[in-house]
Structure 1
């Protein structure tokens, strides 16, 4: 796979996360083992609409197709931008879709491969929200015995990400 056709993995952290938190570092290691370049956007201190603008501006500067990876609010941000940039696939963890009072802001994703990982014990974003999104957009959904952060199941999440990258033909 040539460098210009090799996708770039772009991470979007959650509301209280950071650009190189535990999950992103672990998932970046998976991507790098397959020779994929990685980037992580820093959204700290930004409201949701500004995060979308920032990811859009970062993504438009990148020459290659993207694999957007987002956690919680970062999943919402990634899906919001996916139709506006060349998106090869999305890997979303406990994405903040269909939140009460904000249902109408749930984005319509790009027509690309989408995998969602969500914990059954999530007390921030109900697993039902990801079930609804996955059903509506024919996304692959993995419901696991975890909470919102998914860090207790990090090995499982990394394995699912590895399978996702293999399915995309990035390996």
Structure 2
């Protein structure tokens, strides 16, 4: 099974989150990769196209992990094609004003995925935590609100535990 990481707006495929979570996925038997979107810094639609093109190369649905804008991109891709699971960190959902040219998906995000886990920080200064709550609630997804900010650097131990549980238990539900 394949797992694809999508980094945030000002991040990279070598982010601390990806470097921390990739070994956990690999230990669980998944093949991992992180797509580089740095040339598409402000182009949400271009990021979604790149991710969907990569997903089309697999014979089975992949697991998507996205942080911030990468979470939005993962959700948008999962609205277009089935995915095995979504693990979202501070996803930039319900922020259509930030992606006005994307024209990507309706406000209700009709994802084609059952295994969804959302992690967000109470102190997120970039994306309101209640957006993550709304997204999770509407999909009956797992939601974990942590005492952390948008970068989540101080919560990586907890996020790693949640990710491992998602890989072990959550994907079996989806």
**What's the TM-score, normalizing by structure 1?**
0.89
Please, which runs of 5 or more residues in structure 1 have no aligned partner? 1-6
CA–CA distance in structure 2, aligned partners of residues 112 and 56 of structure 1? 18
Deviation at 1:136, TM superposition (A): 1.1
SS class of match (1:121)? coil
RMSD: 1.8
* 1:6-52 deviations in Å (ceiling 9; x for gaps): x2111000100101211001110110111211011111131101000
SS class of match (1:25)? helix
Is 1:162 matched with 2:158? Answer: no
The question of whether the paired residues in 2 share the 8 Å contact of 1:79 and 1:110 is answered with no
- Number of residue-to-residue matches in the alignment: 164
Deviation at 1:102, TM superposition (A): 5.2
Deviation at 1:135, TM superposition (A): 1.0
List aligned pairs for 1:115-134, cutoff 5 A: 115-134=117-136
CA–CA distance in structure 2, aligned partners of residues 98 and 27 of structure 1? 26
Aligned position for 1:14? 8
* 1:80-100 deviations in Å (ceiling 9; x for gaps): 111333411100000001126
Aligned position for 1:146? 148
CA–CA distance in structure 2, aligned partners of residues 105 and 152 of structure 1? 33
Structure 1 segments, 4+ long, off by >6 Å, are none
Aligned position for 1:96? 92
